[in-house]
């Protein structure tokens, strides 16, 4: 074996000790991590001044956040260049647009971002007859396109951007010569969704006032369908869905409620009742119902698809906890699984957040419930800015009555899927060199991986936008599939943004992922039971700027597949279920308590366990070898069990070069650290004294052939 400098081995030992200590430190075992997107006083990316007020945060599924800044400090042009639109998070801080001679007075409004990092936003460009003029702009990551400009004169208006989908389609409200319309940009130019005076479906009436909210619900889906509310001639107002070709009626005033008890009478309140849409075209909405058996005007939460309407919750319906009944509703949000999150009112000082589906209603948080961090309880105020993702995770802001460490009352940002209840941030918490004085936002920015972007006002007067990411722990009480979101924290599937902890309370086997996957870091073990991750041929890539993979003493990495990143082993590496191949794209560190478990079932590489390390391999711990099935060792067997692309350092405990690994039915098995190309780990049997020169020639030739075999099989 090639000698290695002592100082390098010592450094490796110290490094692995520090890594082990880090994994067990309280900070790593926290439920989440938080990173600043922007703070008051941060330098603008173009070097011209620093950020002042920040607002309008929106979030895509890759952790990128769009936002607007106004009142920027120390700019070269004073008030002429003191606002802009920016993107932060993954990829760094980028300037999208900046106030200049083409941007008037109040500057930029709400922005929206899609998964490609493209951003749509509205901006002030001037003033006419005392009214501000605005236009819609679209930034594709390089260039900016003007989507629509408000003409000067009375009766003209460009509303704010109402969203953006993955194709870059952007809905917005447009008015020209007192005629309102909803337009959609993208995919070939402007498309008219609906226009005032156009015939409405379901009758002889016409649209008189289409409406579109800009910061509340999701109103455009991936198919380009837009959900909207509109007044209609004859008083038959309703909720509709359009895609530029078809217009569908979802629900209409005077239409009978699904349960036959009364009929719809109002969908008016834009902020709280604006409909939301999912990718299947299902539209969730809140409506008032008159002509009920109670004689009262009631409220309900409904979902329509253009053909049928389903009632999810209704005034008088019992709360899922059996404590009282619903009176009214606000702020619904539908996901792609047809679940609807909403704010429910159950009494004058009794409100809560709930999630409904075809299977019933789940209470997320309610007045009087213990706050998720155990500090006090939820009070009487829940903001209407709730959001929900496809995992059924709901994020919301609620007031709290605290019992310790802070003001008698405060507020917090919380998230739950009905099983896991986590606190994101609360007033009084330390943040950005100060403490949180308040939380603001017209809609909480929540993405599919469960990240939340939020804006906080600090006690020192500064503002900040932060990105919160939950850690994912194995919450299943037993074995299961990596690919089943319900097995993980908040029901989320592991993604590139997550630190993943397979730390079950009981002995558990986790299989998968079934396809190549990315995570930020991975830890196997650390819970009350033994954790085994069995790869099934896929690659599990670790983020370059994240942590490594770590297998703790009560963890095992098994199966066949590849880890792309450095791996630190304190537990076991066991390739295969029978025979298998584990590959490590980075450096592999075996530490004192670790073990490599190898099974031999034949001389062909597919019949025995092996590992491939593309970078360096540092050995320590034990080697355990056993035979599979009826396999027996021959006189000149050779097994290349460790193929190392970089430098091989160290040895297995008690196994120096040429040491006896074990005796199997009278046949000795030995180890070499100079196998393969002279830098690999191989097992071989003792070669008997040849009976002839021909026999010796054949055996030596075979030995050299094996030594030249260098495999890079995934």
DSSP annotation of 608 reads: B
Q: What pLDDT is stored for residue 703 in this prediction?
A: 41
Cα distances (angstroms) measured from residue 237 to each of 174, 247, 438 = 20, 15, 38
Q: According to DSSP H, which parts of 367-479 are helical?
A: none
> 0.85 cut: is pTM over it?
yes
Q: Say if residue 710's pLDDT is above 50.
A: no
Higher pLDDT, 263 or 696: 263
Q: Say if residue 607's pLDDT is above 70.
A: yes
Q: How far apart are CA 303 and CA 301, in angstroms?
A: 7
Q: Say if residue 109's pLDDT is above 50.
A: yes
Q: Are 262 and 294 in contact (CB under 8 A)?
A: no
Higher pLDDT, 267 or 641: 641
Cα distances (angstroms) measured from residue 637 to each of 128, 652, 655, 691 = 90, 21, 19, 18
The residues that bridge with 220 in the sheet, in sequence order, are 226
Local confidence band at 2 (pLDDT 50, 70, 90 cut-offs): very low
Q: Say if residue 170's pLDDT is above 80.
A: yes
Local confidence band at 72 (pLDDT 50, 70, 90 cut-offs): very high
In this structure, of 130-139, 261-270, 282-291, the range with the lowest mean pLDDT score is: 261-270
Q: Say if residue 431's pLDDT is above 60.
A: yes
In this structure, of 22-36, 49-63, 209-223, 679-693, the range with the lowest mean pLDDT score is: 22-36
Q: What pLDDT is stored for residue 598 in this prediction?
A: 98
In this structure, of 258-267, 402-411, 450-459, 652-661, the range with the lowest mean pLDDT score is: 402-411
Omega before residue 334 within 30° of 0, cis? no
Q: Say if residue 698's pLDDT is above 50.
A: no
3-state secondary structure of 263: strand
Count of alpha carbons within 13 angstroms of residue 32, beta-carbon side: 21
Local confidence band at 105 (pLDDT 50, 70, 90 cut-offs): low
Q: Say if residue 127's pLDDT is above 60.
A: yes
Burial class (CB in 10 A: 0-12, 13-18, 19+), 177: exposed
Cα distances (angstroms) measured from residue 128 to each of 121, 150, 153, 154 = 21, 10, 6, 8
697 is written with which tokens?
């020639």
Mean pLDDT, rounded, for 321-328: 94
Q: Are 134 and 123 in contact (CB under 8 A)?
A: yes
Q: What pLDDT is stored for residue 131 in this prediction?
A: 77
Question: β-pairing, 350-357 with 340-347?
Answer: antiparallel
Mean pLDDT, rounded, for 279-295: 95
pLDDT in tens, 472-487: 999 999 999 999 999 9
Q: What pLDDT is stored for residue 22 in this prediction?
A: 40
Q: Are 495 and 449 in contact (CB under 8 A)?
A: yes
Whole-number mean pLDDT of the chain? 89
185 is written with which tokens?
């940009």
Q: What pLDDT is stored for residue 268 in this prediction?
A: 62
Q: How far apart are CA 363 and CA 77, in angstroms?
A: 52
Question: β-pairing, 463-470 with 452-458?
Answer: antiparallel
The residue among 569, 577, 625 whose CA lies nearest residue 593 is 569
Mean pLDDT, rounded, for 322-345: 95
Mean pLDDT, rounded, for 617-634: 97
Q: Say if residue 410's pLDDT is above 80.
A: yes
Q: How far apart are CA 464 and CA 41, in angstroms?
A: 10
- Concatenated DSSP letters for 297-356? -EEEEEEE-SS-EEEEEETTPBPTTSSSB--EEEEEEE-TTS-EEEEEEEETTEEEEEEE
Is the dihedral angle over the CA atoms 369, 370, 373, 376 positive or is it negative? positive
Q: What pLDDT is stored for residue 309 in this prediction?
A: 97
The residue among 70, 99, 88 whose CA lies nearest residue 445 is 88
Q: What pLDDT is stored for residue 101 in this prediction?
A: 74
Higher pLDDT, 375 or 524: 524
The residue among 714, 611, 619, 637 whose CA lies nearest residue 673 is 619
Burial 651-680 (b: 16+ CB within 10 A, else e): bbeebeeeeebbebeeeebbbbbbbbeebb
Higher pLDDT, 686 or 648: 648
The total number of residues written for the chain in this structure? 714
Q: Say if residue 699's pLDDT is above 60.
A: no
- Concatenated DSSP letters for 451-480? -EEEEEEETTS-EEEEEEEE-EEB--SS-E
Mean pLDDT, rounded, for 462-471: 97
Q: What pLDDT is stored for residue 215 in this prediction?
A: 64
Distance of CA 21 to the CA centre of its chain: 28
Local confidence band at 322 (pLDDT 50, 70, 90 cut-offs): very high
Q: Are 449 and 497 in contact (CB under 8 A)?
A: yes
Task: Enumerate residues 6+ apart whose C-beta is below 8 A from 358.
Answer: 310, 338
Q: Are 353 and 341 in contact (CB under 8 A)?
A: yes
Mean pLDDT, rounded, for 393-419: 85
Is the dihedral angle over the CA atoms 66, 70, 76, 80 positive or is it negative? positive
Which residue is associated with the tokens 């390390």? 613
Q: Say if residue 712's pLDDT is above 60.
A: no
Mean pLDDT, rounded, for 502-518: 97
Domain ranges in the chain are: 6-30+472-632+639-656
DSSP annotation of 709 reads: -
Local confidence band at 132 (pLDDT 50, 70, 90 cut-offs): confident
641 is written with which tokens?
């069990």
Q: Are 87 and 133 in contact (CB under 8 A)?
A: no
Q: What pLDDT is stored for residue 629 in this prediction?
A: 92
């Amino acid at each position: 074996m090639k000698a290695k400098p002592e100082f390098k081995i010592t450094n490796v030992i110290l490094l692995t000790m520090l890594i082990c200590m880090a994994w067990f430190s309280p900070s790593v075992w926290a439920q989440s991590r938080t990173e600043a997107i922007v703070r008051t006083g941060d330098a603008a990316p173009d070097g011209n001044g620093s950020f002042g007020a920040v607002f309008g945060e929106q979030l895509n599924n890759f952790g990128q956040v769009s936002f607007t800044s106004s009142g920027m400090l120390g700019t070269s042009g004073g008030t002429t260049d003191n606002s802009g639109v920016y993107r932060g998070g993954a990829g760094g801080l980028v300037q999208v647009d900046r106030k200049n001679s083409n941007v008037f007075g109040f500057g930029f409004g709400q922005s929206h971002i899609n998964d490609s990092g493209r951003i749509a936003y509205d901006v002030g460009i001037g003033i006419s007859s005392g009214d501000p003029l605005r236009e819609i702009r679209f930034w594709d990551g390089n260039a900016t396109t003007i989507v629509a400009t408000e003409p000067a004169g009375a009766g003209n208006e460009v509303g704010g951007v109402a969203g953006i989908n993955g194709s870059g389609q952007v809905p917005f409200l447009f008015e020209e010569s007192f005629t309102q319309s909803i337009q959609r940009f993208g995919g070939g130019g402007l498309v008219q969704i609906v226009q005032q005076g156009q015939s409405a479906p379901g009758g002889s009436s016409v649209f008189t006032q289409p409406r579109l909210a800009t910061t509340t619900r999701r109103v455009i889906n991936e198919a380009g369908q837009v959900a909207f509310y509109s007044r209609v001639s004859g008083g038959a107002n309703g909720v509709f869905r359009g895609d530029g070709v078809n217009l569908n009626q979802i629900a209409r005033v005077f239409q009978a409620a699904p349960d036959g008890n009364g009929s719809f009478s109002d969908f008016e309140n834009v902020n709280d009742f604006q409909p939301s849409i999912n990718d299947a075209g299902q539209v969730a909405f809140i409506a008032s119902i008159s002509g009920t058996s109670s004689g009262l005007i009631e409220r309900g939460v409904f979902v329509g698809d253009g053909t049928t309407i389903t009632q999810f919750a209704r005034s008088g319906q019992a709360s899922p906890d059996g404590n009282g009944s619903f009176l009214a509703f606000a702020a619904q949000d539908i996901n792609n699984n047809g679940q609807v999150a909403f704010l429910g009112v159950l009494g004058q000082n009794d409100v809560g957040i709930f999630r409904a589906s075809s299977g019933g209603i789940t209470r997320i948080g309610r007045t009087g419930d213990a706050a998720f961090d155990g500090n006090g309880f939820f009070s009487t105020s829940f903001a209407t800015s709730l959001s929900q993702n496809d995992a059924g995770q709901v994020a919301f802001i609620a007031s709290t009555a605290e019992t310790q460490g802070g003001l008698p009352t405060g507020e917090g940002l919380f998230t739950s899927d009905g099983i896991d209840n986590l606190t994101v941030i609360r007033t009084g918490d330390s943040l950005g060199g100060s403490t949180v004085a308040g939380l603001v936002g017209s809609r909480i920015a929540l993405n599919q991986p469960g990240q939340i972007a939020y804006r906080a006002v600090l006690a020192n007067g500064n503002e900040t936008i932060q990105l919160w990411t939950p850690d994912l722990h194995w919450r299943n009480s037993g074995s299961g599939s990596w690919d089943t979101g319900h097995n993980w924290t908040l029901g989320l599937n592991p993604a590139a943004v997550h630190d993943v902890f397979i730390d079950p309370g009981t002995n558990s086997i986790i299989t998968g992922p079934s396809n190549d996957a990315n995570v930020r870091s991975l830890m196997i073990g650390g819970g009350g039971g033994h954790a085994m991750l069995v790869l099934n041929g896929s690659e599990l890539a670790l983020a370059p700027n994240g942590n490594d993979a770590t297998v703790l003493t009560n963890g095992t990495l098994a199966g066949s597949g590849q880890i792309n990143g450095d791996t630190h082993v304190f537990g076991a590496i066991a390739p295969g279920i029978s025979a298998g191949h584990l590959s490590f794209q980075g450096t592999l560190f075996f530490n004192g308590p670790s073990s490599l478990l190898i099974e031999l079932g034949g001389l062909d590489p597919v019949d025995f366990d092996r590992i491939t390390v593309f970078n360096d391999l540092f050995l320590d711990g034990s080697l355990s070898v056993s035979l599979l099935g009826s396999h027996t060792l021959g006189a000149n067997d050779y097994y290349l069990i460790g193929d190392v692309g970089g430098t091989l350092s160290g040895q297995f405990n008690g196994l120096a070069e040429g040491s006896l690994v074990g005796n199997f039915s009278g046949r000795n098995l030995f180890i070499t650290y100079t196998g393969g190309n002279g830098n690999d780990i191989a097992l071989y049997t003792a070669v008997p004294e040849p009976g002839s020169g021909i026999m010796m020639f054949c055996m030596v030739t075979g030995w050299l052939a094996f030594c030249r075999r260098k495999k890079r099989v995934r």
